[in-house]
Amino acid sequence: MPSLSDSARRPGQASCPPSTDRRRQLSRYAPSRRRWTPEPAGRWRAVHGALATLLVHSLFVPAALAHPSGLPRLREHAKTLVATSADWLFWDWHPSIVIGIAVLALLYGLAITRWRRPEDTVEPLRVRFFYGSLVLAWFVLDGPLHHLADELLFAAHMIQHLTLQLVWAPFFLYGLQPWMLGRPMRALRLTRLAYIVTRPIAAFLLYNGTIWIWHLPYLYNLALFEHEWHIVEHLFFMVTAVIYWWPTLGSLPELPKPTFGAQMMYVFANMVAMKALGMIISLQGEVIYTFYLQVPRVFGLTPLGDQQLGGMLMWLPGGLVLWGGLGYVFLQWARRGTPPRGQTGIASIDRRRAAAKEAL
């Protein structure tokens, strides 16, 4: 059947190939060979618009600008020193949290839709992990857990920190597409620095040193009494936690991961360091974090009992999460590290055997 362009062509006129501009227009409708095609631009505009609305709301609603530093809501309970659920079981909007999450979501959405190159692939599973990490960060850093952690309970504060370090950080790191990290790192000439800090020994010292230093009584109390220092503390925890997980979840060839055996030793060493700190805190016979002596009590916990419970959370449940990290590394080792049939996996032995077979 003749096409419309054939019928419109004059008799005797030779057919000619489409122009370059026309080929470009047609190429837009050609099926993509990429592993994943982003959502239509209109949907992303709607997502970005919703995030922008949320950001403006958090900035201009007066209640959002008043962070509950100094426990002004709890003064009426100061005589009885007992907090009710109305003092912590609610959600509010803190500009520092909303702005950070909204900016990260916008930048990631633009990166996978507008800024990526044709050769850049986008893995859907990583996208889900990244946006899941942002939702988790909002639940952990805002709302009831935030109020319990920042104002009332040491144990709730440890739950918040452990969730950021052991759940949020691996979700966030795995959610980043490899090219999102490699290209800026090379452009800013940070490859050498990134290589140094992501080596197992350096990552171990940065992560555990940050945790131990910020749990010194003076710095810990300072972060609770001064909200600006509390933000700095959380940023230190989040950045060093991402560095900590790099030797097991990193995906850049410029920053190679250690062998699977070294990864298991690395995770186990971090488990020992966390358990040791939790043990020291839980076995104290007096309250070392004096901030909690001045706040109302909740759930019937005394300040000392609360402190011991928080140390036990670092000692036991925190270690269980790292046991999961050990299991993940072992499964990866079993899946990728098993040598083919007839080989040992030791390069020198396999080469000698191959040479002996050729000699025969």
For residue 18, what pLDDT is reported? 44
Averaged pLDDT for residues 264-293:
92
Mean pLDDT of the chain: 79
Do residues 215 and 322 share a domain? yes
Residues 120 and 184 in one domain: no
Are 186 and 327 contained in the same domain?
yes
In a domain, 284, yes or no: yes
The pLDDT of residue 23 is above 90: no
Share of the chain above pLDDT 70, in %: 74
What are the pLDDT digits (tens) for 191-229? 999 999 999 999 999 999 999 999 999 999 999 998 889
Together in a domain, 255 and 280 = yes
The conformation of residue 340, written as its DSSP 8-state character, comes to P
Taking residues 248-269, what's their average pLDDT?
89
Residue 46 covered by a domain: yes
Residue 16, in any domain of the structure: no
Split at pLDDT 50, 70, 90, the class of 34 is: very low
Q: Do both 150 and 134 map to the same domain?
A: no
Of the three residues 112, 141, 170, the one that is the final residue of a domain is 141
Pair 122, 158 in one domain: no
User: Both 204 and 117 in a single domain?
Assistant: no
| Tens digits of residue pLDDT in 59-103 | 333 333 334 444 444 444 444 567 767 678 778 778 888 899 999
Tokens matching residue 63 = 């209640």
156 and 135 co-located in one domain: no
* 219 and 329 housed in the same domain: yes
Helix (H/G/I), strand (E/B), else coil: 297: strand
Domain contains 29: no
Residue 8 located in a structural domain:
no
Does residue 15 belong to any structural domain of this protein?
A: no
User: Domain span at residue 119?
Assistant: 36-66+93-141
Q: Is residue 154 domain-shared with residue 40, that is, in the same domain?
A: no
Q: What does 135-197 look like in DSSP terms, one character per residue?
A: HHHHHHHSHHHHHIIIII-HHHHHHHHHHIIIIIHHHHHHHS-HHHHHHHHHHTT-HHHHHHH
Predicted local distance difference test score (pLDDT) of residue 32:
39
pTM more than 0.85:
no
Q: Is residue 136 domain-shared with residue 163, that is, in the same domain?
A: no
Report H helices in the chain. 4-8, 20-27, 41-60, 62-65, 95-110, 124-141, 143-147, 154-163, 169-175, 178-187, 191-197, 200-214, 217-225, 227-249, 260-282, 303-315, 317-336, 347-359
Same domain, yes or no: 280 and 296: yes
Q: Specify the pLDDT at position 339.
A: 67
Give how many domains the chain has, as a whole number.
2
CB atoms within 10 A of CB 193: 11
